């Protein structure tokens, strides 16, 4: 099986390395060339154009946002030029509106389409331990399934409507942001009363909140270790805004998402922007210190 991979940020590159380690033939393309050459040195085939990547049987994409998806896949015409029978698996976190649009476009072009956003940071991706959501036409999902299983600790089937997978992904990312916000506020309260952040977070993430999100992000918050980013704060802000858009489309109010948007905007208004999402906790600390 030949696999194409488009979009080689931290997550995409880690996923490619996992597939290469399992003996998969992967053709890679990215808008910036350096990572393409790096992965080619590790066994991938470098594509000179995005069309070359789409010459594969299955094409995985991990682009940063809606704008990149439109520019690389829609506006470029690559989807219209792709061979019939190709299955496109989109791992990116995108808007529910674009998810619906892509499902219609692929059907019109005779291409398979699977929405397969993932949960997990780059080290988990390289180890093949992601949680992968999967929604799309049964035949497309079935064709993609062997590759998805190489990437995943578990593949979570979500039916035929790709929008469902993207909605669940947005809901999950919203819960991650909310967890970080709550940890930041709890740390600020504890520190104001002389409780060190490592003590507070070690105790709580080992008992009441013994879950990976609290342990991983709690450790980063305790150590104030926010660079290099595994989940960039700017992408977290993008996701929160997509959550708010999706909620508005259904007439829902999400006050915590409003708070998270404001906090992330404050975080990214500073000089340093290349920070992990965990740095959101510093905004809560600043609120207390600034009283």
Instruction: Establish whether 143 is a catalytic residue.
Output: no
Can you give the pLDDT at residue 290? 39
| Tokens (6 digits) for 273 | 């922007």
Q: Do domains 2-160 and 167-289 have the same CATH topology?
A: no
Torsion of CA 44, 49, 54, 56, to 10 degrees: -40
In the numeric block, the tokens 């980013």 are attached to: 229
10-residue stretch averages of pLDDT, the chain, 291 residues long: 95 98 98 97 98 97 97 96 95 97 96 98 97 98 98 98 98 98 97 97 98 96 95 96 98 97 94 92 74 33
Say if pTM beats, i.e. exceeds, 0.75. yes
| Tokens (6 digits) for 291 | 């009283």
Q: What CATH number was assigned to the domain covering residues 167-289?
A: 1.10.1040.10
CATH class of the 2-160 domain in this structure: alpha beta
The 3-class secondary structure across the chain, one letter per residue, is CEEEEECCCHHHHHHHHHHHHCCCEEEEECCCCHHHHHHHHCCCEECCCHHHHCCCCEEEECCCCHHHHHHHHHHCCHHHHCCCCCEEEECCCCCHHHHHHHHHHHHHHCCEEEECCEECCHHHHHCCCEEEEEEECHHHHHHHHHHHHHHEEEEEECCCCHHHHHHHHHHHHHHHHHHHHHHHHHHHHHHHCCCCHHHHHHHHHHCCCCCHHHHHHHHHHHHCCCCCCCCEHHHHHHHHHHHHHHHHHCCCCCHHHHHHHHHHHHHHCCCCCCCEHHHHHHHHHHHHHCC
Torsion of CA 124, 127, 133, 135, to 10 degrees: 150
Can you give the pLDDT at residue 1? 79
CB 126 within 8 A of CB 182: no
The one catalytic residue among 22, 169, 238, 273:
169
The residue ranges of every structural domain in the chain are 2-160, 167-289
Can you give the pLDDT at residue 18? 98
Can you give the pLDDT at residue 287? 62
Name which of 72, 83, 77 is nearest 112 in CA terms: 83
CB 217 within 8 A of CB 278: yes
């Amino acid at each position: 099986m030949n696999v194409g991979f488009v979009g080689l940020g931290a997550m995409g590159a880690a996923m490619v390395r996992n597939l290469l380690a399992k003996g998969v033939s992967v053709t890679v393309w990215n808008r910036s060339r350096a990572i393409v050459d790096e992965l080619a040195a590790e066994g991938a085939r470098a594509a000179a154009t995005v069309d070359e990547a789409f010459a594969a049987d299955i094409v995985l994409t991990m682009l940063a946002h809606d704008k990149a998806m439109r520019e690389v896949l829609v506006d470029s015409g690559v989807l219209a030029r792709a061979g019939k029978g190709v299955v496109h698996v989109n791992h990116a976190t995108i808007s529910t509106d674009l998810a619906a649009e892509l499902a219609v476009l692929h059907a019109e072009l005779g291409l398979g389409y699977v929405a397969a956003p993932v949960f997990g940071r780059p080290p988990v991706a390289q180890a093949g331990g992601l949680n992968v959501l999967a929604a799309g036409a049964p035949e497309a999902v079935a064709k993609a399934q062997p590759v998805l299983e190489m990437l995943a600790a578990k593949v979570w089937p979500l039916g035929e409507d790709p929008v469902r997978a993207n909605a669940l992904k947005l809901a999950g990312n919203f819960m991650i942001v909310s967890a970080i916000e709550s940890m930041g506020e709890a740390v600020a309260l504890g520190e104001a009363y002389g409780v060190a952040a490592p003590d507070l977070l070690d105790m709580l993430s080992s008992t009441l909140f013994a879950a990976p999100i609290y342990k991983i992000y709690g450790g980063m918050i305790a150590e104030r270790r926010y660079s290099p980013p595994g989940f960039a704060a700017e992408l977290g802000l993008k996701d929160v805004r997509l959550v708010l858009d999706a909620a508005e489309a259904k007439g829902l109010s999400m006050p915590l998402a409003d708070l998270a948007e404001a906090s992330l905007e404050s975080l990214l208004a500073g000089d340093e922007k290349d920070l992990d999402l965990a740095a959101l906790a510093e905004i809560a600390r600043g609120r207390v210190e600034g009283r």
